[in-house]
Amino acid sequence: MNHAVLLLSSPDRRGITATVTNFIYEHNGNIVHADQHIDEQSNTFFMRVEWSLDGFKLGKQDIGKKFRPIAAKFKMRWDLSFSDQRPRVAIFVSRHLHCLHDLLYRHADGQLNCEIPLIISNHPGARPVAEHYGIAFHEILITKGNKRGQEKKEMELLKKNGIDLLVLARYHQIFTEPFVTAFEHRIVNIHHSFLPAFAGKNPYLQAFKKGVKIIGATSHFVTPALDEGPIIEQDTVRVSHRDSLDDLVRKGEDLEKVVLSRAVRLALEKKILSYGNKTVIFD
């Protein structure tokens, strides 16, 4: 069954929920999920509402048009999507392939409601798994001098494939600021530490040297400031002095897979609203 999802934020004031739900009701929509949140610090209202289009009296192409005056009145930022329009995802990966394997298996298993038309890597290693799942694989090598040129190629590939969301499944290259800015809130990364601890390189080695008793993984939107973007999801697992650095890596990779796949699902299902450096997650 086809659903519409409206995701919005605005300055908080009386009547927003009533107005939005009335809009749906008066066109005969049946709400199947609704959640809202008010951030008291910034007096911001956030809402996600999902309704069945079965019997809805507006066509998909008219909903946004009709909603626009309401959005204007309440000064909303808003996004309207439909469950039958599957987002198109590009996965970027380097040498560590566990997250890629995990995402592709989930996708084949029907857990991720999206298309994955291409995989981009700065290493050749992912080609066999891409081929096993029948997904186009592009090896785009990054060297010290060629990053801007290669990013241009990537941009063209993404555009040509109509990509909505970029997933960095342990992609160990830092995009330039223009690239990141072009895909604001549309690049989901997995960092292999419990951010803000151990940002930057070799987080497992940092954690091992520090002697922490718990390690973590963090999925976040990419922003120009490295490892500083809004956090979408995190998880942790216990370690001890018995764990070698290799054990930390192995335990951590299990976290990475789960944390990244949860974040990707949330993004695909339009359950994330960013504000400043934080996120509202309507799970």
Which residue from 10, 39, 70, 172 is in contact with its own copies, where contact means CB under 8 A?
A: 39
Residue of 84, 227, 235, 246 with catalytic role: 227
Which residue from 109, 134, 143, 145 is in contact with its own copies, where contact means CB under 8 A?
A: 109
Hey, which residues between 74 and 103 contact its own copies (CB under 8 A)?
Answer: 98, 101
CA 269 – CA 283 distance, rounded (Å): 9
Which residue from 87, 203, 230, 252 is in contact with its own copies, where contact means CB under 8 A?
A: 230
Residues 240-259, one symbol each (x = binds its own copies by CB under 8 A, - = not), give: xxx-x-----x---x---x-
The 8 Å CB, 24+ separation contacts for 23-29 are 23/66, 23/67, 23/70, 24/49, 24/51, 27/56, 27/57, 27/58, 27/66, 28/55, 28/56, 28/57, 29/4, 29/53, 29/55, 29/56
The yes-or-no answer on residue 227 being catalytic is yes
30 touches its own copies (CB under 8 A): yes
Stretch that binds its own copies, among 18-26, 70-78, 82-90, 174-182 (CB under 8 A): 18-26
CB atoms within 10 A of CB 226: 14
Written in H, E and C, the secondary structure of 181-229 is HHCCCCEEEEECCCCCCCCCCCHHHHHHHHCCCEEEEEEEECCCCCCCC
The residues of the shown chain that bind its own copies, judged by CB under 8 A, are 13-15, 17-19, 21-22, 24-26, 28-40, 98, 101, 105, 109, 111, 132, 194-198, 209-214, 216, 230-236, 238, 240-242, 244, 250, 254, 258, 277-281, 283
